[in-house]
Structures are given as C-alpha cells and as structure tokens.
C-alpha cells in the first residue's frame, strides 16, 4: 500500500500528467492537452483550497505508519488520481472504437482510483469520508473541465466552418453517441477526430 500511495502523490501524478500531456502535444490533441492540464493541476489547487477551508484533522493513532502535517479533507492523493485517470479514461473512450476496450479502460481507471483511496484509508492517512469526498470533488471538477474544453472546441469549430460543413461530421457522431449515454463526463469528452473532418469536406 505504501508503493501505491507514493506512486500517486502530488509529485508523482504531476509527472504522469506531464508525460501524458507531452504525448497529447506530439499528437496535436490540443483540446485534450488543455483538459489534462486544467483538470489535474487545477484540481490539485482546488484540493489545497478546500483543505484550508474545512480544516479537518487526520485520523490519530498511537503508532502511525505515516505522519502528516496537513489537513485531511478531502484526500489529495485520491483527488489527483480521480482527475488524472478520469481524463485518461475519457480520452480512451474517444480514441478507442471497440466497446469492450472502452469498458476495460473505464474499469481499469476506476479500479486504480479505488485502490488509491483504499490505500489512504489502510495507511491511516484519511477517514472514509475524506476519500469519498475527494472522489466526488474530482468527478465534479473533471466534468467541469471536460465540458469547458468541449464547449471551447464547439465554439471554435462553428466559428471556423460554415453551417453546411457540420452535416456528416463528427459533431453528428457526438450527438448520436449522447443518445445512448446520458453521462455528462462521457458526452463532453467526446471530441471529434480528424478523419471525420476530412470525410465531411468531401460531402
């Protein structure tokens, strides 16, 4: 559990986020890059703000495994893991076409977040409510950031292309996808792909 918790510290998640951001930059997924940076690092800042607002003490033990000087609610490790793996899962849903692989990606992401949260409780660093609060905080912030990135793309897309260009493009695909899934996180993360733009130009 110590390995799990150390691999998902603020510094470690920052390295993971920057590594994935470098991949997004090289692949020219600029809106996904914005979503990743805003979600992870904005979420970390939000977590610090909330810790100083609630001022909730951590669990106290006579012989603790780990000692901390910061406040406990919400869990920073769980919040960071929720934000990072949430963006990765959303990107995988957008990138992968096969439904079994999409389900696998979401399951792996959720399992890792739960594992991080469990490790924090097991090590006595947080109460259960600290971890659950961090998960809810992370999901809310994730949805907000993905919505903002997706809305920005839609505004830019409509501004740069005439209305007749929209027919048959990926925006129609996104609307059809939303008919099957009402989840705001999945729908807002469904950015268009380049090949659909190219196909639309031939119409």
- 7, 61, 68, 125 from 65: Cα distances, Å: 17, 9, 10, 9
In a domain, 184, yes or no: no
Range of the structural domain that residue 31 is part of: 2-57+71-158
| Residue 160 Rama label (left phi>0; alpha psi -120 to 50; beta) | alpha
Q: Which residue has the higher pLDDT, 64 or 85?
A: 85
In a domain, 112, yes or no: yes
In a domain, 136, yes or no: yes
| Residue 76 Rama label (left phi>0; alpha psi -120 to 50; beta) | alpha
In a domain, 169, yes or no: no
Give the model's pLDDT for residue 182.
38
The reply to whether 77 belongs to the active site is yes
Rg of the chain on CA atoms, in Å: 19
Q: In 3D, which of 46, 36, 120 has the Cα closest to residue 84?
A: 36
Q: Which residue has the higher pLDDT, 6 or 65?
A: 6
pLDDT band at 40 (very low <50, low <70, confident <90, very high): very high
In a domain, 203, yes or no: no
Select which of 6, 8, 126, 161 is catalytic.
Answer: 126
In a domain, 164, yes or no: no
Select which of 60, 77, 161, 166 is catalytic.
Answer: 77
Query: CA–CA separation, 141 vs 42, rounded Å?
Result: 9
Instruction: Count other C-beta atoms under 10 Å from residue 195's C-beta.
Output: 9
The reply to whether 126 belongs to the active site is yes
Q: What is the number of domains present in the chain? A: 1
Give the model's pLDDT for residue 23.
94
């Amino acid at each position: 559990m110590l390995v799990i918790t150390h691999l998902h510290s603020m510094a470690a998640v920052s390295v993971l986020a920057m590594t994935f951001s470098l991949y997004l930059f090289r692949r020219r997924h600029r809106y996904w890059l914005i979503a990743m940076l805003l979600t992870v690092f904005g979420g970390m800042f939000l977590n610090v703000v909330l810790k100083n607002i609630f001022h909730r003490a951590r669990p106290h033990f006579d012989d603790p495994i780990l000692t901390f000087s910061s406040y406990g609610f919400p869990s920073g490790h769980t919040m960071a893991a929720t934000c990072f793996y949430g963006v990765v899962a959303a990107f995988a849903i957008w990138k992968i076409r096969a439904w079994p692989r999409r389900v696998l990606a979401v399951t792996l992401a959720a399992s890792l977040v739960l594992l991080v949260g469990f490790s924090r409780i097991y090590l006595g660093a947080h109460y259960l409510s600290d971890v659950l609060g961090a998960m809810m905080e992370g999901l809310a912030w994730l949805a907000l950031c993905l919505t903002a990135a997706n809305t920005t793309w839609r505004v830019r897309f409509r501004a740069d292309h005439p209305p007749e260009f929209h027919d048959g493009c990926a925006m129609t695909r996104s609307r059809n996808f939303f008919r099957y899934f009402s989840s705001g996180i999945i729908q807002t993360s469904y950015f268009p792909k380049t090949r659909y733009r190219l196909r639309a130009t031939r119409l």
